[in-house]
Amino acid sequence: MTHLYDNNLNFLVSLNYEYEDFIKEPSKFYPEWKSSFYATQDKYNNPVVSDGALREKTREELILIDNKCELLADGEYIEQGKIIVVPCPEGLLKKKWDRTAHVWGEGATVEELKEFYFDLINKYKAEILQVGFDFNGHQQKCREKDLALLGNAIAANEDAQIYSKTPVSHWSFNDNDVVEMSLEDLKHLRIAGATFVQVIFTVEAQLKASQPDILLEKQDFIKKVNELSTVKCFKSSI
């Protein structure tokens, strides 16, 4: 195909001829042809002459020369013949661009911010409990099944006292960390777990009572837990 434009860059017609054939004898294929016209292999929606040939206008040319401001993206405005880009700041849940003031703002409602913030806290809380706490260098998880198994182990050891002065259990902190534990050791582990879980809930309550912060990170939650508790988050929580 060959596409024709007049000297004012108005589109004329598309011809079903090869460009190489057309350009040799334009008048043969288009009798109204003038030397001031343009023939191109590509069709342009917004043609401009550059170095004697036609090309498509750039987005910047359309905005700055043709004044097509509707092409400006959020975060852009025109000043002194240039397109100025304003980076969107962090901390916005639903970024909103003010085209008049040329500033970014928060588009989310108070309830949307609060819901997002609470979801973050709940997510981090679950992940930290999943990993658990450090007990003498061992990782103790705080899932419901872990706490139930611990309670059963303590009860079994208490029952075993009838038959043995020093009952012991082989407690599995994880698949590769099995430790021989006395009844007192297991009780200390349970107390540590109760302390840890209580601090987790305390930090959760403190965070939810504070101003919503959508940039809250899990490390922020962990830091608060470790500050308040003698029982620390296991290092792989970080």
The three-state DSSP-derived secondary structure of the chain is CEEEECCCCCEEEEECCCHHHHHHCHHHHCCCCCCCCEEECCCCCCEEEECCEEEECCHHHHHHCCCCHHHCCCCEEEECCEEEECCCCCCCCCEEEECCCCEEEECCCHHHHHHHHHHHHHHHHHHHHHHCEEECCEEECCCHHHHHHHHHHHHHHHHHCCCCCCCEEEEEEECCEEEEEEHHHHHHHHHHHHHHHHHHHHHHHHHHHCCCCCCCCHHHHHHHHHHHCCCCECHHHC
Distance, in Å, from the CA atom of 92 to the CA atom of 214, rounded to the nearest integer, reads 8
Query: Both 117 and 229 in a single domain?
Result: yes
Pairing type for strands 38-40 and 2-5 reads antiparallel
Tens of pLDDT, residues 79-121? 999 999 999 999 999 999 999 999 999 999 999 999 999 999 9
Q: Is position 23 within any domain?
A: yes
Query: Both 31 and 124 in a single domain?
Result: no
Distance, in Å, from the CA atom of 226 to the CA atom of 98, rounded to the nearest integer, reads 42
Query: Both 195 and 145 in a single domain?
Result: yes
pLDDT surpasses 60 at 235: yes
Query: Both 124 and 152 in a single domain?
Result: yes
Query: Both 87 and 124 in a single domain?
Result: no
Name the band, by pLDDT with cuts 50, 70 and 90, for residue 52: confident
Q: Is position 152 within any domain?
A: yes
The most confident of the ranges 151-155, 163-167, 182-186, 189-193 is 189-193
Q: Is position 207 within any domain?
A: yes
Structural domain including 6 reads: 2-57
Q: Is position 66 within any domain?
A: no
Q: Is position 227 within any domain?
A: yes
Query: Both 130 and 52 in a single domain?
Result: no
Query: What would the mean pLDDT of 66-77 be, rounded to a whole number?
Result: 95
Q: In total, how many domains does the chain have?
A: 3
What is the chain's mean pLDDT, rounded? 91
Query: Both 147 and 229 in a single domain?
Result: yes
Query: Both 145 and 206 in a single domain?
Result: yes
Per-residue pLDDT, 17: 94
Query: Which has the closest alpha carbon to 104: 117, 116, 95, 113?
Result: 95
Q: Is position 52 within any domain?
A: yes
Tens of pLDDT, residues 56-65? 999 999 999 9
Q: Is position 62 within any domain?
A: no
Length of the chain: 238
Q: Is position 158 within any domain?
A: yes
Query: Both 128 and 13 in a single domain?
Result: no
Query: Both 131 and 232 in a single domain?
Result: yes
Query: Both 130 and 189 in a single domain?
Result: yes
Q: Among 1-10, 85-94, 172-181, 221-230, where is mean pLDDT lowest?
A: 172-181
Query: What would the mean pLDDT of 140-166 be, rounded to a whole number?
Result: 74
% of the chain exceeding 90 in pLDDT: 75
Query: Both 233 and 138 in a single domain?
Result: yes
